[in-house]
């Protein structure tokens, strides 16, 4: 009875989220791109509740395993959630938006046990291996040769970059064999964080191991100077043939300083580092809110399809709630 009751609650919340969040019809293949969704201030709180109740359920618009890429959008998009999150609560805005634009959208859960809503806590190389398996599954199902990765926090930086370098995501000698065309990171943990001073404190006190025993190995992995960061960064930030975009907010309170998110382009790779307030000065999104920020969603759209990039229609976006 309790399981049935929770299912009813989850279904009701999902329906309410769709009513609140999905505005406008999808554009036709020959029509203009669908506008970025606005008016979604309830989207993250609702998705967070749903993610607790049904953590293995994909967000709306994701995981249609019968989807076939089109000529306009030849690469599936794989969404990679952040630390202590899951696919459902991280991608309540981005998944349905990209689906409306005509992409095949998939959302991986990684770094956690089935049924546990708190994921992406495992050691980064372990999580990277799980992402590798998921990308292979997407490529097989869709018949595509490459995917585009869109990630948030850990899922936009450290872990997918480990996958690209060490877990088969790219082939440096033959970039045309890369499984990933582009990596788009929202507030990515690329070069380690001080965690607004918490990481600095636990490092100085020698407490990273016991804290990670509680919070997960990904905590220590993402700190400034960690073994994972040092190993990943020693040969440069990028991989040949991959297109990188970083979308950061100067109000980030998790990956600090926010400039640690930016990348430097290496041989045969492109990098675009964007601070969202340089594009939309009224944007108040911080770390969490950036995944529910319609301004950031439009920047993701442009990064996925730069040949048809459009000016961002800036709107006010609020901390945590987005907009």
pLDDT tens, the chain, 323 aa long: 333 333 333 433 333 333 333 333 333 334 444 555 554 556 787 888 889 989 999 999 999 999 999 999 999 999 999 999 999 999 999 999 999 999 999 999 999 999 999 999 999 999 999 999 999 999 999 999 999 999 999 999 999 999 999 999 999 999 999 999 999 999 999 999 999 998 999 998 999 999 999 999 999 999 999 999 999 999 899 999 999 999 999 999 999 999 999 999 999 999 999 999 999 999 999 999 999 999 999 999 999 999 999 999 998 889 888 87
CA–CA dist 33, 101 (Å, integer): 6
Number of other CB atoms surrounding residue 95 within 10 Å: 26
Residues in the chain: 323
> What separation in angstroms does the CA of 157 have from each of 8, 184, 190, 229, 292?
36, 9, 5, 11, 18
**Amino acid 15: pLDDT:** 34
pLDDT (0 to 100) of residue 42: 63
Cα 148-154-155 angle, rounded to 5 deg: 25
What span, in angstroms and rounded, lies between the C-alpha atoms of 17 and 50?
Answer: 10
d(CA 59, CA 46): 12
Handedness of CA 300, 129, 162, 44 (dihedral sign): positive
Question: Is there a contact between 169 and 133 (Cβ–Cβ < 8 Å)?
Answer: no
The SS3 assignment for 205 reads coil
Tokens of 216: 């997960």
DSSP 91: -
| Maximum pairwise Cα distance, the chain | 59
Does the predicted TM-score (pTM) go above 0.75? yes
Q: What is the pLDDT of residue 9?
A: 36
Q: What is the pLDDT of residue 169?
A: 97
Site of tokens 């580092």 = 273
233-237: list long-range contacts, CB under 8 Å, 24+ apart: 233/191, 235/165, 236/264, 236/266, 237/161, 237/190, 237/263, 237/264, 237/265, 237/266, 237/271
């Amino acid at each position: 009875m309790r399981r049935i009751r929770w299912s009813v609650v989850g279904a009701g919340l999902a329906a309410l989220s769709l009513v609140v969040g999905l505005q406008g019809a999808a554009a036709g293949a020959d029509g203009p791109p669908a506008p970025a969704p606005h008016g979604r201030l309830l989207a993250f709180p609702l998705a967070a509740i749903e993610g607790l109740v049904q953590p293995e359920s994909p967000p709306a618009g994701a995981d249609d395993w019968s989807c076939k890429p089109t000529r306009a959008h030849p690469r599936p998009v794989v969404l990679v959630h952040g630390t202590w999150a899951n696919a459902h609560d991280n991608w309540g805005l981005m998944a349905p938006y990209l689906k409306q634009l005509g992409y095949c959208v998939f959302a991986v859960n990684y770094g956690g046990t089935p049924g546990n809503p708190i994921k992406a806590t495992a050691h980064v190389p372990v999580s990277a291996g799980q992402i590798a398996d998921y990308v292979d599954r997407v490529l097989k199902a869709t018949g595509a040769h490459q995917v585009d990765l869109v990630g948030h926090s850990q899922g936009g930086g450290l872990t997918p970059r480990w996958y690209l370098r060490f877990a088969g995501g790219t082939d440096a000698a033959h970039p045309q064999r890369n499984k990933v065309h582009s990596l788009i990171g929202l507030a990515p943990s690329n070069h380690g964080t001080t965690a607004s001073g918490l990481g600095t404190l636990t490092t100085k006190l020698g407490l990273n191991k016991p804290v990670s025993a509680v919070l997960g190995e990904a905590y220590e992995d993402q700190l400034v100077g960690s073994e994972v960061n040092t190993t990943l960064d020693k040969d440069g930030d990028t991989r040949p043939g991959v297109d990188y975009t970083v979308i950061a907010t100067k109000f980030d309170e998790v990956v600090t300083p926010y400039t640690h998110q930016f990348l430097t382009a290496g041989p045969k790779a492109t990098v675009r580092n964007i601070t969202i307030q340089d594009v939309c000065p009224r944007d108040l999104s911080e770390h969490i809110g950036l995944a529910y920020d319609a301004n950031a969603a439009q920047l993701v759209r442009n990064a996925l399809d730069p040949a048809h990039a459009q000016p961002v229609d800036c709107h006010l976006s609020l901390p945590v709630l987005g907009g």
